[in-house]
């Protein structure tokens, strides 16, 4: 059983819906979910919030929070994950924001840095990962980790 098939089974068993809030992956997590036939029974919607304005407009992330912490931060990803649930009919969300590269990295946030936020059954958690490789590798690793993180929290 694939990650997405297992995710579908766990969500369907609870009668829960999933929403995604994606920056650095540009919708790749939503695409992975909706590649599975019948995903409309458990996948509610995906927000692609690449710009700060989109994070604010679509997810309710405050401009002040973005100014203070930056787009690639724990505070921002937590607000994104909460915003995805608040602005959808979902009970579960995953949010990602990071530096996929090859440019845009800094000493504090090197290329490959990705923050993950999860809301599962009302519980908000977050974590930071650093992935090696080029832009495609970082984005693919982010999708895998997002799905694995959902599965771990739902099991």
Task: Spell out the domain ranges in the chain.
Answer: 3-154
- Report how far apart, in Å, the C-alpha atoms of 125 and of each of 36, 107, 119, 135 are: 26, 25, 7, 25
Fold for 3-154, please state it. Maf protein (3.90.950)
At 55 the pLDDT is 98
At 57 the pLDDT is 98
At 43 the pLDDT is 98
Interval 52-60 mean pLDDT = 98
Alpha-carbon torsion (29, 19, 34, 1), positive or negative: positive
At 40 the pLDDT is 98
At 140 the pLDDT is 98
Q: Could you tell me what percent of the chain has a pLDDT over 90?
A: 99
Interval 19-41 mean pLDDT = 98
At 125 the pLDDT is 98
At 114 the pLDDT is 98
Count the Cβ atoms, other than its own, within 10 Å of residue 87: 16
Interval 15-20 mean pLDDT = 98
Interval 75-104 mean pLDDT = 97
Residue 15 in 3-state DSSP?
Answer: coil
Tokens found for residue 10: 């766990």
At 65 the pLDDT is 98
Residue range 126-152, pLDDT digits in tens: 999 999 999 999 999 999 999 999 999
pLDDT-derived band at 25 (thresholds 50, 70, 90) equals very high
DSSP E strands, the chain: 18-22, 43-48, 92-98, 113-120, 123-130
């Amino acid at each position: 059983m694939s990650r997405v098939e297992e995710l579908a089974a766990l969500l369907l068993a609870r009668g829960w819906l999933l929403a995604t809030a994606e920056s650095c992956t540009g919708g790749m997590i939503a695409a992975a979910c909706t590649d599975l036939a019948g995903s409309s029974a458990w996948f509610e919607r995906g927000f692609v919030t690449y710009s700060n304005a989109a994070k604010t407009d679509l997810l309710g992330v405050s401009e002040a929070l973005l100014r203070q912490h930056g787009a690639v931060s724990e505070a921002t990803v937590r607000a994104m994950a909460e915003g995805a649930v608040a602005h959808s009919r979902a009970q579960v969300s995953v949010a990602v924001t990071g530096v996929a590269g090859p440019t845009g990295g800094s000493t504090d946030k090197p290329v490959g840095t990705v923050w993950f936020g999860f809301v599962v059954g009302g519980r908000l958690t977050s974590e930071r990962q650093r992935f090696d490789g080029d832009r495609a590798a970082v984005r693919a690793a982010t999708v895998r980790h997002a799905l694995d993180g959902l599965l771990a929290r739902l099991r």
